[in-house]
Amino acid sequence: MSEAEPPDVIGFDDRSFEDFVAGSSARLFTTAKLLTGGHRAEAEDLLQGAYERAYRHWGRISRRADPERYVRQILVNASVDRWRRLRRRPEAPLAVTGADPAAADTEAAVAARDLLLRGLAALPPRQRAVLVLRYYEDLSEAQTALMLGCSVGTVKSQTARGLARLRDFTGDAGARYSGAREGDGAP
């Protein structure tokens, strides 16, 4: 190929896409993992699919002010597509693994995180997505509604229902963490 010939469409701007993937993969993978209820393999597949979709249109996406936001939207849309496929067959529950004695010093933190992830996995997909976008991605109600293609009222109701179900799922363990937020004198 001579210098006068235009480059191929695919492969034209691979370097900027590779840089984008390197810089965004950790954040987007965590979001994907939370959207899939903690299933690592499914999160990897979901993120890979989102990157594939983004790569096909990278020339247009890279001109945006915030391409990560656009790819996050692709990720959420792919997750919604996944929910639709899973309606035909139920999700498998997370397998509980035994504790390793060598990691006993972090046992409480790991147990609390595991309880939260199992609680998220037990939520219906829509409630899980709303909670991930609102509290992990720190999006506003309006931004979450825009991402999910629903009304702000739906986001509010799904948030309330999802938090209530998480509190029910965590039982007494959740009460330890919510007390400081409800005005018990803690900073």
Q: For 100-129, what is the mean pLDDT?
A: 80
pLDDT at 30: 92
- Please choose, from the candidates 122, 131, 118, the residue with its C-alpha nearest in 3D space to the C-alpha of residue 157: 131
Please answer whether residues 61 and 70 qualify as being in contact, where contact means their C-beta atoms are separated by less than 8 angstroms. yes
Strand, coil or helix: 185: coil
CB atoms within 10 A of CB 139: 20
User: Which two tokens mark 142?
Assistant: 């309006």
Q: pLDDT at residue 182 above 50? A: no
Q: Write down the pLDDT at residue 143.
A: 92
Question: What is 107-178's CATH number?
Answer: 1.10.10.10
What are the tens digits of pLDDT across the range 65-82?
888 899 999 999 888 887
DSSP state of 60: H
Contacts 24+ apart (CB under 8 A), 55-59: 55/10, 55/17, 56/10, 58/13, 58/16, 58/17, 59/9, 59/12, 59/13
Contact criterion met (CB below 8 Å) for 120 and 166: yes
- Global pTM? 0.53
Q: Which residues of 151-179 are buried (b: 16+ CB within 10 A; e: fewer)?
A: eeebbeebbebbbebbeebbeeebeeeee
Q: What is the pLDDT of residue 154?
A: 94
Domains of the chain: which residue ranges? 9-90, 107-178
Per-residue pLDDT tens over the stretch 3-47? 444 344 445 567 888 999 999 999 999 999 998 888 899 999 999
